Structures are given as C-alpha cells and as structure tokens.
Amino acid sequence: MHNFFTALGFLTRIHVKNSKTCTAQEFSASVVYFPWVGIMIGSFLAIAHKLCLYLQLPNFLQGVVLIFWEICLTGTLLLDGFMDTSDGIFSARNRDKMLIIMKDSHVGANAVIALVLLILFKLSFYLAIGEEQLTCALFAMPLVTKVLLVFFINNFSSARPDGLGALFQQSSTIFSNIMATVLSFGGLILLGLPYLLAGIITFVLGWILAKYIASILGGLTGDTYGFLTECSGIIFLASLYFLLRVGAGN
C-alpha cells in the first residue's frame, strides 16, 4: 500500500502520505500502481456524473462541472506537462532548444492555444456522448490513459538523464506492463465492445504519437508524459464517440 499511496499522491491531490519524504526508489516503484489510481479517478468522475444527472443539471453545465471536478481531483501536473510540451514541440526549434523551452516556467502562446483546444475538445465530446455511455467513458478514460502512461515510462528512453522520466524508469519491470494490460483489457471488456475497441485505438495512436515525440526529442520527459496522457484522453473520447455512432447507425 505504501507505493500505491505514493502513486495516489503524485497523480491526484489526495495525499495520504507526505510526498516530500519519498525516496527516488519509492517514486519509481509506484509506477505499477498508476492504473489503480486511474480506476479511482474514473470512479470519482463517474459518481460526479451520476450526481449531475440526479440534480438534472443542463448538459453544458454538466460538462463544465466534470472538467472542473477532474482538475480539482487530479491537480494541474499533467496539464502543466501538456502545456510545456506544446510550447516546446510546436516552437519549430532544434531538439536542444525545445528541451530548454519545455523547462522554462514561462507560458507561451502555443501552450495557451493548446490548452484551450484540449478543454474545448473534452467538453465537446462530453456533450456529444450519450448520458449513460458518458458515465462508463468517464470511468474508462483515466484507466486507459494511466495504463498508457505505464507503457510510456517502461518502453521509451528518457530525453533527460536527470529528469523525472529517468527517475520513474529506475524500477521499470515487465510485471508493471503485464499488470497494466490485464487491468485495462479486463475493465474495458466488462464495459463493452465499444470501450474495448476505443481503448485499442487509443493505445495504437498514443503509441504512434509517443514514437513521434521521442524521435524529435531523443526520448520522453516528464512533461511529455503529461502531454501524451492528455492527448490519449481525447483520442479515447473521440474513438468512443465514433464507435458509438456507428453502433447506433446499425
């Protein structure tokens, strides 16, 4: 449970233990528990959606509340990485300059535009997916993205030897890949075929995106983990939306 609480404190604002006292080895060993934290986040989002339905909130307000609740629950760590990566890879500079830009605490235009588009896409898919399907989607999305995060950490080299990516890779194991796969496929199969197919599509496209970013930067960084996680969430919602539409058409 010790490593689970470390993962929980890193990926959410729920701090059972003081993360400042964690060693590098403890942070690295917590990676295997990322999918379990994804299940917890998904459960909280699904419950929040059910509460919105019970209160009969307008659809647009429901979407805003869900995004607000997700940010309150998970914090802005991954969003910060998403914005930093957007500033770097969209700067049209060389690799070294990109890494410098990503490490800079200042926010550029690319980051702001990317964040606005991310929120708009997420809100649009929340409104487009049916109410019952959205509850399941909200549960599945964090699970899928955290499983992918495990694979990104375990299977891509770090662009910075002294960065967060390298820190997490210290305890990289095949076991964490296997556990993540079992949890992901097991949960998605229980939810139904559209969710399983959306998960597979997200894995494939997320992996392609990770390979592309790694080719640009010479590996992945802590910031790119945030970028890939947020993009994978949108890919999952988009895939699920179109799969559900195809199913409805049949």
Rounded to whole angstroms, the maximal C-alpha distance in the chain is 55
- State the helix-helix crossing angle for 77-89 and 59-74, rounded to 10 degrees: 90
d(CA 136, CA 98): 38
**Single-letter residue type at 172:** S
The residue assigned the tokens 């909200």 is 138
pLDDT digits (tens, 9 = 90+) for 81-138: 999 999 999 988 898 899 999 988 888 999 999 999 999 999 999 999 988 899 999 9
Provide the pLDDT for residue 105.
Answer: 82
- Report the share of the chain in percent with pLDDT over 90: 58
Residue 239 has pLDDT above 60, yes or no: yes
pLDDT digits (tens, 9 = 90+) for 205-232: 999 999 999 999 999 988 999 999 999 9
User: pTM for this one?
Assistant: 0.92
Residue 66 has pLDDT above 70, yes or no: yes
Confidence class for position 61, pLDDT limits 50, 70, 90: very high
Confidence class for position 141, pLDDT limits 50, 70, 90: very high
The domain limits of the chain are: 2-249
Provide the pLDDT for residue 15.
Answer: 79
Nearest CA to 145 out of 203, 210, 67, 86 is that of: 203
- Report the share of the chain in percent with pLDDT over 70: 89
